[in-house]
Amino acid sequence: MNLLIDKYRPSSLKEIIGHDAQLRELVNYVKNKKPVIIYGKAGNGKTASIYALAKDLSYEIFEFNSSEVRNKENVEKTIGSSLNQRSLFSKSKIILIDEIDNFSGAKDRGGVQALAKLITNSAFPIVMTSNDPYDKKLSDLRKKCQLINFEELKEDDVVRYLENLCKKEKIKFENGVLNELARINKNDLRGCINDLQILISKDNLKLEDIDLLGKREKEDDILNSLKVLFKGKNPEEVLNVFENVNLDLDECFLWIEENLPLEYKGDKLSKALDYLSKAKVFDGRIRRWQYWRFLIYVNALMTLGINSLKNENDAVNYKRSMRPLKIWQANIRNAKKKGVAEKIADKTHTSVKQVLKNFEDYKGFIDNSVSEELELNDEEVDWLKNF
């Protein structure tokens, strides 16, 4: 079976979504044999555009990607020789050097410099792709190239493309599914298409199917880690428990914090929270001094510290922390409150901070005539009534 991603590989620049101005630049540079670096996030069409362009111009592509060793000798040997070789049947060619950020410092020593030397006297157009051309190691190369920025695709564009694809493949879907797909992939079109491949077996795509994709995987990860954290007997394993979890440190903290009281009670709970609190002190010091070695202490306290209190209870059902959700909801509520407070402050020679702090003192007397004087809108008046 043909994979969707291959089946729908664009065969002409017309099929590329977004980047209209950038594509015109690209065509121009390639025709004039100027070396180009296309940069931007993964999956927004960099490599696809180059292949599509080659088809449009009926050029061949000579690709040199990170699967090969790209040190000085190899770059000179592979690229150097192809630079001047006429192509079979004398078709012209584009030399594509993919993912130039992936030149490894140690293994591909001298590769970038060699490349920078070679590209100036090439008989063929050279196009490179990169996620971050401003990396220091690329500076020699960058100076000799034209840069084209492929910006992140717009959600609307991605969704429209996916709708089209689903129509052709006769995939049915619920409202909003494709938007969600675009969102969880951060508008990475390749990611979206690969996800569709997994979901294609469902006859009607639902929102909960999307949940199965990646998020569940993350959750499994953390649940297993928590089991090791609270029950693990091998200190080394415990110490490294968060190493392979696909969550950032703050999220790990939230998971531990939420579930600590389910595992420990009384004195143990207080000791465990004390470790967590100390870990957060080091965390704060890292932020303040940018002294990252403190991370060792953060990790030791939040893993072995907490594990050292373990008991023989059965494992409990670990829960996700509701704190971020609650904070988010409160922020929405507080935005209204702040709006009203700003209006009060404006009329009473007071600071917003001062009004917010004593908001309860004010709300008791905000009747119709007062809200008129404060110029509150209907929405704010309603909100106050229900406060």
Which residues form the interface with other proteins (CB under 8 A)? 250, 253, 257, 261-262, 265-267, 269-270, 273-274, 276-278, 280-285, 287, 323, 326-327, 329-330, 333-334, 337, 344-345, 347-354, 356, 358-362, 364-365, 367, 369-370, 372-374
Nearer to other proteins, 34 or 338 (CB): 338
Q: Minimum Å distance from CB 359 to other proteins?
A: 8
Supply 201's token pair.
């077996």
Annotate 175-192 with b (16+ C-beta within 10 A) or e (fewer).
eebbbbbbebbbbbbebb
Q: Which is nearer to other proteins, 160 or 323 (CB)?
A: 323
Which of residues 29 and 242 has its CB atom nearest to other proteins in the complex?
242
Indicate the residue among 36 and 279 with the shorter CB distance to other proteins. Answer: 279
Choice between 68 and 373, CB closer to other proteins: 373
Nearest approach, Cβ of residue 277 and other proteins (Å): 4
In whole angstroms, the minimum distance from the beta carbon of 224 to other proteins comes to 23
Distance, in Å, from the CA atom of 15 to the CA atom of 188, rounded to the nearest integer, reads 16
CB of 296 to other proteins, least distance (A): 16
Q: Which amino acid is at 197?
A: Q
Burial group, residue 273, by CB count within 10 angstroms (0-12, 13-18, 19+): middle
The Cα 119–Cα 64 span in angstroms is 14
Task: Pick the closer one to other proteins by CB: 207 or 286.
Answer: 286
CA–CA dist 250, 248 (Å, integer): 6
Measured in degrees and rounded to the nearest 5, phi and psi for residue 239 equal -60, -35
Q: How do 146-149 and 126-130 pair as beta strands?
A: unpaired
Dihedral, CA of residue 68, residue 72, residue 73 and residue 74, to nearest 10:
20
Q: Name the minimum Å distance from CB 63 to other proteins.
A: 46
Complex with other proteins: residue 176 or 261, whichever CB lies closer: 261
Closest approach, Cβ 291 to other proteins, in A, equals 13
Task: Name which of 310, 289, 321 is nearest 228 in CA terms.
Answer: 310
For 240-261, give one letter per residue: b (16+ CB within 10 A) or e: ebbeebebebebbbbbbbbbbe
Q: How far is the CB of 338 from other proteins (least distance, A)?
A: 8
What are the backbone dihedrals phi and psi of residue 171, each rounded to the nearest 5 degrees, phi first?
Answer: -95, 125
Angle of helix 155-169 relative to helix 177-184, nearest 10 degrees, comes to: 120
- What is the nearest approach in angstroms of other proteins to the Cβ of residue 360? 4
Q: Of 3 and 327, which has the nearer Cβ to other proteins?
A: 327
Q: How far is the CB of 312 from other proteins (least distance, A)?
A: 21
Which DSSP string corresponds to 68-118? S--SHHHHHHHHHHHHHPPPGGG--EEEEE--GGG--TTTTTTHHHHHHHH
Establish how many alpha carbons lie within 13 A of residue 324's alpha carbon, considering only the half-sphere containing its beta carbon: 9
Between 20 and 360, CB nearer to other proteins: 360
